[in-house]
Structure 1
């Protein structure tokens, strides 16, 4: 029996296996894993709404993004020479993926990073492919900072509705030579400074000052450890990164966005492995964060997302085990702020059409985690 339990526990830690992919934008289909601008390997155009099965994956050295080989199983609307059954390579960009995945259990994958890394490692064990990483790892803090968007997408709206991976590669090529690199290096330095600058004495003094001056904290003003977390530099950097790298609408990658924001700010030291948003409670606890709902005093004060403190990661789940859940970062105190993950909204997830639909069907979403790092 002990052996059986041990094996079951080990199996639970294995990375999710990607099964299907859905195109959320138009992408070029290529005959090889070469996404350079001058590569003459584009064989067709895959329109938005198309679907495919994941066959292979490779992590690209130059960008940290992925080349994914798929077998087309369904074509979306739009003019194309592609056919069902085609096996082609497409580009999964870290900044704007334009692809969403499901796993072998047909659950939506809200962060495919771990699964892509595992598959790329397996697929790369054979003959090495030029331009790819033979043994990829989960992203580091430096990688996450370098891959961030150069500006808030909501402040630089594009009218181009047919973006493909070629435009992303252009940006990646210019990235090494242009001003954003200087900014990103400064971001890395700022994060390191923020992580190392807080000595215990300074933290105590700062806690007292913040608790006295903060009038927006409301009921949390009597909990200096919470106020200090919410008003600290690291939390400010987490919120800033999330807002800078958000999309204009939901991409289905809420958990990925939350992970990258916390890694970039230094709130956590390594990239969490989970693929579903409901995994966030477990994953973030392992990296030093606490779930406020485990504390009876805190739990009694949190009746809705608006009650959570500024900067907290709110984790939602439903009794329908096929659903991945959702995560959001709260950007301010009370109801005066917004909620941000892969996109930013004035409403918490419980007010979303999806959450209301599940509530009407008798399987409401509930808050299962309010994660902070005091």
Structure 2
């Protein structure tokens, strides 16, 4: 049996206010191509189909199209809900949809009841675990503690109880933070009481574990893997290779796993240097079509930085400032006591730009301050009283 493991589609998500729906639709096209080209029998989607519990109508339309096309393909589909999904919304109509070969599991009550599939070697039991909130399950499941580990340990107890009565190979889908993997900046924190991590040993004895939640691909053991998200959702993922795991099961269990790279609709680049260097360095021409995060090291801070950078890198989305040689002194909070509002505003301008305000700017700030006061002498009186 051939499996295709994917997760964390986050349909409807934007990237620094740039819409991603067209790129996500291109990934769905790629997924269908892989299913046909590689003769995939089962597609596993390990949670976070949507980016939010109440997804935009266009995201719902894309998900509907994706599942309808997968249902019409050669593959069966098993889907779980992630921490970004609404379990009720994603799971609506799941009992009817089962008949089409798309098995959506979002209800903790179904944990321990597998999707049963067959190939020439016999039966494969696919246990799809939805995202398990320890707070919601602590009482009904009588969990030993308030942690994700406690919830998943109980879930896997139920899975193993089912498997103990079967002669079948086993696959588990889970949406969790499993020890040994590194998060990126685009995942939502799922810690409860400061505890979010689950040990890899929780899944011991399972032939293949398809994990979701973390957006980078990881091989924790030969049997336990994250596919990661199909697209980069933060600049911390600029060096990620995105895609899905193509997994083969033979008569004994896991036989092979190969990573299938997904198309990259627009690359990410993190650039650093002074603005003149970034605008003139010929070697940076390859980033003209990339989404760019630029860290400027100029002191003073350059004017119209975004406008100038977009002249060369039209898709610049983020600018950070880390001036080289910036003097280290008191923090702004230590320099406000007993000083006039006008002086504080001048300090703010100097801290922000790296150079003092001009005389004209100083006069403008003073006029703006005075215009906000009933008593134009209030600023002076404040200084006199403080002094």
TM-score normalized by the length of structure 2: 0.24
Choose between structure 1 and 2: higher strand proportion.
2
Bigger relative contact order, structure 1 or 2, given CA contacts below 8 A and separation 6+?
Answer: 1
- Select the structure of larger CA radius of gyration: 2
